[in-house]
Structure formats: structure tokens, C-alpha cells
């Protein structure tokens, strides 16, 4: 009951850094999720120590209405009505440059019975950084898939077929790759010991023409999953 909280990346890598701005913009614009304007200045901080929030029933949401702050600018504020029988509410806090824009898309994972909510970022050209908030409605369906939030997606050509592949870090702490945008399920990537996907970027580290996935973690550690004709394979 109430909200299911999941961690999303606090450090974002921009789509511009991977040369995939046009792909991401078209991908996001064509599959936009309904957005809501929620004034979190007028309610007690719903995120707490987290950076993401899924509200799947009206009990927690209604408690926000009861706790609207007695500020002059909040006295007439009312939360938007939501039919939780049809929708789940997702809130995200994303730390990025001050003019950044974001796209959100659901990607079904049939084999794991998960709906991944992927985030794309379009660099806004601003040198300052700030926290952005996004609130969207995700329609419930009959599949009973779990809803899973993911970090900002990165794009590269990991198998050399001149088609974009997308890699993302999920709230279950697994890195997955979607090859070729052909509707296939995301493929989990076995990671080297100690590596995570919290800080990752795309580069051709060994200059073989296949793009590689670089994973970083605290203390300056780094691991590389090398691309190949077969993609990002465990034996690479």
C-alpha cells in the first residue's frame, strides 16, 4: 500500500554526449506519458531521501492533501485528481543542467514481466546544474507487470550493425541492453566484480570499431564491457 520507492541515478549522462540526440528526441516525443503539475513546495517533501517515487493507491496521495502547508501561495492549492484504479503516479527528481529536457518511455520486458520506465536526457547547453522534477501517470493494464524505474539511458552501437542499441541501469541494480530497437526484451549484462551501472558511458576503448560500455565506481575503479559482433557479451 502507499508508495513504492526506488533509487534513480543522481548523476546523469546527456544524450548529446553519445551523439544520439535526434534518436532520443523522436523516441521520447512519440511516446509521451501524461504529465502532472504537482507543487511540492506546498506539501511535505514526498521524496524524503529518495529520488523517485511510485504512488499506486490513493491513501498516501490523500495524506498529501491533508498536509498542504499554510503558506499564502498555497492556501488555494489543490492536488490534481487521479483515478488510481487506472493509473499509477510516478515522481522523479533528476539532477542535470538547468535547461535540460527529459523524455520518459515504458519498455515491456516480457520474459521478466517488468515494465521499465526509461529516462532520456537532452542536454540544454546550460553550465549551471539544478534538480528537475517530473510527475507522470502510468496507465495500469491487464499484464500485471511490475513497474521498474531506470536511470538515464545511454546509446551506442555495441554490435557494429549501424543501428542504435540502448543500455540502462535499473532500480534492481542490473544493467540491461536493448539491441536494435526491434522490440526484443532487454538483455541483462553480467558485470565484473565490484562494478555497478550507476556511473557509465559509451566509448570505443580498444579502437576496434565497436563501441564499449565503461562502468565506474567509487575510488576511481573502472571496468569495460567490450563490444563485438555479438554485442556486449560476458566473455568480453
Residue pLDDT, tens place only, 64-80: 888 889 898 998 999 99
pLDDT band at 234 (very low <50, low <70, confident <90, very high): low
**Using H for helix, E for strand and C for coil, what is the string for the chain?**
CCEECCCCCCCCCCHHHHCCHHHHHHHHHCCCCCECCCCCCCCCCCCCCCCEEEECCHHHHHHHHHCCCCCHHHCCCCCCCCCCCCEEEEEEEEEEECCCEEEEEEEEECCCCEEEEEEEEECCCCCCEEEEEEEEEEECCCCCCEEEEEEECEEECCCCCCCCEEEEEECCCCEEEECCCCCCCCEECCCCCCCCCCEEEEECCCCCCCCEEEEEEHHHEEEEECCCCCCCCCCC
Q: Residue 111 pLDDT more than 60?
A: yes
Q: How large a percentage of the chain has pLDDT more than 90?
A: 18
**Span 114-163, pLDDT tens digits:** 888 888 777 788 888 998 898 999 888 777 788 888 877 788 899 999 98
Amino acid at each position: 500500500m502507499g508508495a513504492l520507492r526506488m533509487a534513480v541515478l543522481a548523476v546523469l549522462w546527456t544524450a548529446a554526449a553519445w551523439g544520439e540526440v535526434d534518436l532520443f528526441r523522436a523516441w521520447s516525443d512519440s511516446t509521451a506519458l501524461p504529465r502532472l503539475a504537482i507543487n511540492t513546495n506546498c506539501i511535505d517533501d514526498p521524496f524524503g531521501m529518495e529520488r523517485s517515487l511510485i504512488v499506486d493507491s490513493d491513501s498516501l496521495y490523500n495524506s498529501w492533501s491533508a498536509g498542504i502547508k499554510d503558506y499564502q501561495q498555497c492556501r488555494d492549492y489543490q492536488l490534481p485528481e487521479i483515478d488510481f484504479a487506472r493509473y499509477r503516479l510516478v515522481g522523479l527528481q533528476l539532477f542535470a543542467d538547468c535547461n535540460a529536457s527529459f523524455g520518459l518511455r515504458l519498455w515491456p520486458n516480457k520474459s521478466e514481466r517488468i515494465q521499465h520506465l526509461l529516462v532520456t536526457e537532452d542536454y540544454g547547453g546550460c553550465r549551471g546544474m539544478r534538480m528537475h522534477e517530473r510527475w507522470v501517470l502510468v496507465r495500469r493494464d491487464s499484464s500485471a507487470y511490475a513497474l521498474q524505474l531506470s536511470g538515464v539511458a545511454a546509446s551506442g552501437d555495441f554490435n557494429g550493425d549501424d543501428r542504435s542499441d540502448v543500455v540502462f541501469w535499473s532500480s534492481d541494480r542490473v544493467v540491461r541492453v536493448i539491441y536494435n530497437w526491434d522490440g526484443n526484451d532487454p538483455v541483462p549484462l553480467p558485470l565484473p566484480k565490484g562494478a555497478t551501472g550507476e556511473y557509465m558511458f559509451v566509448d570505443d576503448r580498444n579502437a576496434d570499431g565497436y563501441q564499449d560500455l565503461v562502468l565506474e565506481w567509487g575510488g576511481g575503479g573502472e571496468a569495460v564491457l567490450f563490444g563485438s559482433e555479438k554485442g556486449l557479451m560476458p566473455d568480453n
